[in-house]
Amino acid sequence: MAIKSCALLLLALALQLLAGSSPAVAQLEIGFYSKTCPNVEAIVREEIEKIIDAAPSLAGPLLRLHFHDCFVRGCDASVLLNSTDSNVAERDAKPNKSLRGFGSVDRVKAKLEAACPNTVSCADVLTLMARDAVVLAKGPFWPVALGRRDGRVSSATEASDQLPPSFGDIPLLTKIFASKGLNLKDLVVLSGGHTLGTAHCPSFADRLYNFSGNGVDPSLDSEYADKLKTRCKSVDDKAMLSEMDPGSFKTFDTSYYRHVAKRRGLFQSDAALLTDATTRDYVQRIASGKFDDVFFRDFSESMIKMGNVGVLTGDEGEIRKKCYVPN
């Protein structure tokens, strides 16, 4: 009963956000494909179940792929486009070099093209896949309003300039989130997505070696720093991976916040959550283990908001046949 009432509240929130939003977002609909591709969500869910069953560690990368898409030009699947001889695309920007899951998106899109040709956008596919990946990792479900269109432009320069950096402090991260219509609560809640996935050494090794010219980052627990050093031998070590939520990086839960509260967040941006009163209070509250349901609801709400950022609708953009190339 509690799960059902939560789902109804999230549906009401999704509809409320659509009603009180920009004209483009207002054109998104729950059940947008009810007449043109009624089984879209079932097709996506069936395929991603096979993908995650074969590779459970892909849940985090698929969530990250959606996040990185929405923060550059909005949720328009521009992150999926390949570079060309005349253009370096988002996926080849330095912050996106470690993105994974492109083949999985192509696989799901191919299934939808077979069932409903020229109908479902890559932007909607990626949004649904991110939601379903979280659910399959034992995380929350949230309703996804559909009707996004695919962008035709993808710029590595824009990605480098607009994505929240792993070394970001609260003022910088707040500014970036605000530029997307997201607030400080969304920042600390969406950071909880780091409960899934792994990271390459270069994204955090600066905290271990010669941090500000003084060795280890003092905001990082020293015992944890020593452990990380055994995996990352140098700032340039690109081979080794570290779990962002050690011990449960394939499961969506609240243990990420317990690590952050103990100064064991992997990135500087994780540690930064303890430097602001509002974000610190949230971290400590969820870290207590008594408010898992609150975090699940908050995460769902913030994901609905993020999924509406800068969307193209109506006659804007296009419906790509293949997600890696414009029509």
Tell me which residues are annotated as active site. Answer: 68
Here the tokens at position 94 are 């330095």
> Contacts for 261-266 with beta carbons within 8 Å, 24 or more apart?
261/287, 262/221, 262/224, 263/219, 263/220, 263/221, 263/224, 264/220, 264/221, 264/224, 265/194, 266/194, 266/199, 266/204, 266/228, 266/242
SS3 243: strand
Cα gap 127→146, rounded to integer Å: 9
- CA distances from residue 35 to 42, 59, 115, 156, 253 in whole angstroms, order as listed: 14, 30, 13, 37, 36
Burial of 211 (0-12, 13-18, 19+ CB in 10 A): middle
Cα gap 307→74, rounded to integer Å: 8
Q: Phi/psi zone of residue 144: left (φ > 0), alpha (ψ -120 to 50 degrees), beta?
A: beta
SS3 106: helix
